[in-house]
Structure 1
Amino acid sequence: MMAKLDDQALDTLFRSARTFNHYTDRPVDDATLHAIWDLLKWGPTSANQLPARIVWCTSPEAKDKLAACASGTNPDKIRAAPVTAIIGMDTEFHEHLPELFPHTDAKSWFDGNAELRQASAFRNSSLQGAYLILAARALGLDTGPMSGFDAGAVDKAFFADMPSVHANFITTLGYGDTASLHPRSPRPDFAKFNRIA
């Protein structure tokens, strides 16, 4: 049985964590991005599919290219953040299952079934994106997930060499500017959106 996290850890991951739109000038180095991956890769996915394909936009050129695909105020957020991660999903993830899930022929479950692969890639890459956010928080960073972008344009700009990969969502990362935060939005009690059957 795993040990229960203390309140400080739970605050870092959940209770005190916020969505940031503005960050300090403190940079995020490549070693930290590697460390995020080295945590998030352990998060469970169905049959260890690991369909997420992540592009970490750190250069001004990459940020500008991504910002051109975004809408509303998101282009400015992308350009200003130290890093923006594109969480893509590989609908041909099953080709890697002989390596990633070797104890049974899981690849055959998905061969010839594009609809199943699409649904599974979306579900499990979304999980991996959430693990990315938690891993970043665990390492002292803040995040700003967003979906206001043209997914087809992002695919053309960043995944043209990987036609089976499609953008799921994006998130900025950095060290948040707490002075820019609005009051926290409500979070309801258990009874509002839950039931135990």
Structure 2
Amino acid sequence: MSEGTPAGTITRLDPQVNNENRVSVFIDDEFAFGVHEDLVVRHGLTVGTALTAEDVREIEADEQYVEAKQAALDYLAHKPRTETEVRRKLKRNDAPAFVIDDVVARLYELEYLDDEAYAHDYAHNRFSSKKYGPVRIRRELKERGIDRHLADAAVDTLFEDEDATAAAWEHAESRWPRLADEDDPRRRRQKMYRYLRRRGFTSETIRPILDELEREGGRSPV
């Protein structure tokens, strides 16, 4: 539809060839707009129905909602998403702000969106698969639009059960031998430090590990 969609009387309703869920609406024998079949029923669209300009605007708003909701569901079908990611997706699709708000509210009602559960699952999966530290996991959650308090809670909960220091040692023992060609001990330490920081560990965790690596030749204390 467009702002120039005319008011008038519906003279034809034809199923669309390329999309069986949509119907072409003809007003005064001229194609006016396409609409989802559910909206044909909802708005009581039949041949002979007279539509005012306000009627057309309401149908257009509902059509935008249906399209945005379907786009969101398709987006969520591949993997869980955050509210912010869904909003970004719909904005890229040029959905109006009021439509995005309505779609997001409905997705929460349907329990397709749950940022708190997403944060906990994401934190667990990133640690399990990559052994990333708390700093990186927290940052990644925030980049995905998770509220700071939810991100902090998810990371804190994760590391109540998981040992960040042990994970850092796994990375360190794998990486340290690869830096053996570095003749300058200070540069070797710096490279190891930056490597562990990129994986999300704090300076407080990293420094004792570096000290031990230098003393013991790379083996973690057991």
Query: As a proportion of its length, which structure holds more strand?
Result: 1
Same fold per superposition (TM over 0.5) = no
Q: Which has the larger radius of gyration?
A: 2
Shorter-chain TM-score category? under 0.3
Structure showing greater relative contact order (alpha-carbon pairs closer than 8 Å, 6 or more residues apart): 1
TM-score (norm. length: structure 2): 0.22
